[in-house]
Structure 1
Amino acid sequence: MTIQYYTDSVRQNHADARADLEVLGAFETWIDGEWAPAANGETFETIDPVVQEPICSVPRCGAADVDRAVESAQSAFDATWGSLGAADRSRAILAWTETLREHIDELALVESLDGGKPLSHARAEIEFGIEFIEYYANVVRADEGITLPTSDDQHVYTRTEPYGVVGLIVPWNYAFIIAAWKLGPALAAGNAVVLKPAEQTPLSALYAAKLSKSIFPDGVVNVLTGYGEEAGAALSSHPTVGKLSFTGADTTGETIMETAASTVTPVTLELGGKSPYVVFPDVDIDETVRDVAHGIFYNAGQSCDACSRLLVHEDIAEEFLDALVDRAESLEVGDTLQEGTTLGPIISQAQFETVTGYLERGTDAGATLETGGVADESPVDDGWFVEPTVFTDATNDMQIAQEEIFGPVLTVITFSTYEEAVDLANDVPFGLAAGVATSDIDRAHRAAADIDAGSIWVNGSYATPRPGGPFGGFKRSGIGRELSKDALRHYTQEKTVYVSVDDPSR
């Protein structure tokens, strides 16, 4: 498959790419190992955000489709999947990852077009997601219960058992990666799944599900396309779903918690963030600038753990900001199918309007727009492109410092003391992630302990979680952890078995 497009016309590039996707066939919802239309026959278009043109139409699923998918998953669990041992499940999952790698070019192109990502970024994200699925296929083989020392006349041990059917709801910003983060442990633990991708970016999950055909029993993996208030709401309230896992906005997480409460369904929630990056005066400025720029501008800032607040010591603030602005202005906003593009568009017009609204509120509140804003020369007319944006002269009570923008917008605040830095870092409703830059190792460990966040990156590699490292948030950033071996526990129920043992001499 062609994976780069070099005509002078952005629209022609994307038309050629969409034509390449046609060889993959039509995308429908994936239920019981086959494509299926929505029960109501309705569809909606998924849009290429670079050129605002349709990629294809997919089913607009509702409650009837959720019922069918859950029934399919439950049947597959009861018939085969739920009774397989860990080794058999592991082998099947690893076979799936091999197939996914064989089709990585197609998956990357799907993810690039659907999510507005530079093609090289999309490919790296597909590879990254596959690594997490592999991780769970391997660690599940070492998963074990415990034996409890009690007395000579009783043997006590624990075992873990899958829920049966789990519902997975994932966002649009990292459609494949976050689906992989949930599919890996859910399947490895022995559950069948019903996955609802975001309506903006359903295609990579659908294609990955198609690639599982003949590897998993039909019904083990089901993917429903549709809107949150329709398919998502029906999935989160379904009485047969034994476990829910959601990644997305904190306000939506509240709704899912309320809905799940009616059926007493356990939930894992990975929600929003307003993550600080704290820069002390003893850093390598060039290295730290590169890390900060990656942390806020990658994926056009559409990351839940984006370091959208830079807290920089006043002694180096001027020098640091000069270097940061230079770095921001060197990034290439443009056609995601052209080599060298660093930032793609905002995912949709609605999100573009949200981001630009915050640009207005920032300046209205008195912050200084050092660089960025709406792109003066976007690749296409009226494109949803925002340049890497830096606000200075900000205070931590401004909306641009307190609320999640989900765009390439960095708010800079200075501090003078360690205590002030920590207070500023913690003075938001969220606690998903944080960065710390300092050459003082004692201060690094102290800051990592004092900042209220689920993940802390010290001196580089910001927002690069690794298999085995728990990921999740404090405060409004969520409940539970993903990415580590312990995530298997979120997809299983623990049972304690008490066996009475008679005296053999009787």
Structure 2
Amino acid sequence: MDTQLLIGSRFESGTEAEEHILNPRTGAGIIDLAEASHAQIDAAVDAAERAFATWSQTTPAERSNALLKIADAIEKDADGFAELEALNCGKPINAVKNDELPAIIDCWRFFAGAVRNLHAPAAGEYLPGHTSMIRRDPIGIVGSIAPWNYPLMMMAWKLAPAIGGGNTVVFKPSEQTPLTALKLARVISDILPEGVVNVVTGRGETVGNALINHHKVGMVSITGDIATGKKVLAAAAKTVKRTHLELGGKAPVIVYDDADLEAVVHGIRTFGYYNA
């Protein structure tokens, strides 16, 4: 089982408070995992900064090929990833194998294609004597913070578009469900250049807070609750960071007069507890 942080090309253990990683299905402990220190977070950001200088200059074809290699590696070890996700999240393993892993692999492949097919308005002379155009450049370092409910899928959603666009990332999984992120870190370190993706673990109030307030981080992506989103916006305003916020709780449902109420009740019951 992989338990170490990925900082640049180095794998090292966290040095701060330990988090008890549990199997939610049984309540049994899996492992105690120490979170990253401020020095380790700074080192991860510095590694991402160094990597950005060269990764941002790679071609779409180079980045696309890297994403495809990651997808292939996950697919090759799909059973291993599924077993670990099921263990750490308490999910039925067939749900992970049959529903989640195909979607995760497809996500990496989708963005491998998307990065080679970026569109923008055509260049034109909108002012006499001047040609206007839109150029798409990577932002820089993205601090990504993922939740506990779909750890490996959320990692794909956050990493694939960011690195596909030429950015570098410091990624923090949920402190409760970090195991597949640490496993994927090993895969990524063999495929991507040093520092393009860094993985640090820990709680939101410590590691997450350090990331969203870091002066070198150019964008913050977080999936979480509204209170956390407000903190991210407040922190981002200090240095005008870009933000990507997926916030909320249990989704509301609008039922129209002509709805089949029996089908509505069945659907809400099924999907409301699908990932419970």
**TM above 0.5:** yes
Q: Aligned-pair distance for 1:110?
A: 1.1
Distance 2:243 2:127 in 1: 36
Cα-to-partner distance string for 1:245-269 (whole Å, 9 max, x where unaligned): 1100111111111122222211111
> Contact 1:27–1:35 (CA<8 Å) still a contact in 2?
no
Who is 2:25 aligned against?
Answer: 50
Distance 2:63 2:106 in 1: 16
> Contact 1:28–1:59 (CA<8 Å) still a contact in 2?
no
1:47-86 matches, within 5 Å, as 47-78=22-53, 80-86=54-60
Distance 2:101 2:154 in 1: 10
> Contact 1:277–1:292 (CA<8 Å) still a contact in 2?
no
Cα-to-partner distance string for 1:339-389 (whole Å, 9 max, x where unaligned): xxxxxxxxxxxxxxxxxxxxxxxxxxxxxxxxxxxxxxxxxxxxxxxxxxx
Q: Which of 92, 101, 125 in structure 2 is aligned with 1:118?
A: 92
1:266 correspondence with 2:225:
no
1:140-159 matches, within 5 Å, as 140-146=115-121, 147-151=123-127, 153-159=129-135
Which shows bigger deviation, 55-64 or 163-172?
A: 55-64
Distance 1:280 1:97 in 2: 44
Q: Which of 48, 56, 72 in structure 2 is aligned with 1:98?
A: 72
Q: CA RMSD in A?
A: 1.8
> Contact 1:167–1:245 (CA<8 Å) still a contact in 2?
yes
Q: Aligned-pair distance for 1:129?
A: 2.0
Distance 2:37 2:226 in 1: 23
Give TM-score, length-normalised by structure 1.
0.52
Partner amino acid, structure 2, of 1:35: F
> Contact 1:171–1:247 (CA<8 Å) still a contact in 2?
yes
1:175-214 matches, within 5 Å, as 175-214=151-190
Distance 2:57 2:38 in 1: 28
1:244 correspondence with 2:220:
yes
Identity %: 35
Q: Give the direction of change, closer, same or farther, for the CA distance of 1:162–1:51 in structure 2 (3 Å limit).
A: same
> Contact 1:144–1:159 (CA<8 Å) still a contact in 2?
no
Larger radius of gyration: 1
For structure 1, the 5+ residue unaligned runs are 1-24, 301-506
Q: Per chain length, whose mean CA-contact separation is higher, i.e. which structure has more relative contact order (CA < 8 Å, sep 6+)?
A: 2
Q: Aligned-pair distance for 1:214?
A: 2.4
Who is 1:232 aligned against?
Answer: 208
Partner amino acid, structure 1, of 2:235: T
Distance 1:33 1:105 in 2: 26
How many residues end up aligned between the 2 structures?
Answer: 273
For structure 2, the 5+ residue unaligned runs are none
Cα-to-partner distance string for 1:400-441 (whole Å, 9 max, x where unaligned): xxxxxxxxxxxxxxxxxxxxxxxxxxxxxxxxxxxxxxxxxx
Distance 1:263 1:224 in 2: 22
Who is 2:111 aligned against?
Answer: 136
Partner amino acid, structure 2, of 1:109: E
Give secondary structure in 1 for the equivalent of 2:115: helix
Q: Aligned-pair distance for 1:45?
A: 2.6
Q: Aligned-pair distance for 1:279?
A: 5.2
Q: Give the direction of change, closer, same or farther, for the CA distance of 1:275–1:41 in structure 2 (3 Å limit).
A: closer
4+ residue runs of structure 1 moved beyond 6 angstroms?
none
Distance 1:154 1:61 in 2: 51
Who is 2:252 aligned against?
Answer: 275
Give TM-score, length-normalised by structure 2.
0.92
Distance 2:116 2:149 in 1: 31
Q: Aligned-pair distance for 1:41?
A: 5.5
Who is 1:356 aligned against?
Answer: none
Partner amino acid, structure 1, of 2:166: G
Q: Give the direction of change, closer, same or farther, for the CA distance of 1:263–1:254 in structure 2 (3 Å limit).
A: same
1:33-48 matches, within 5 Å, as 33-38=9-14, 40=15, 42-48=17-23
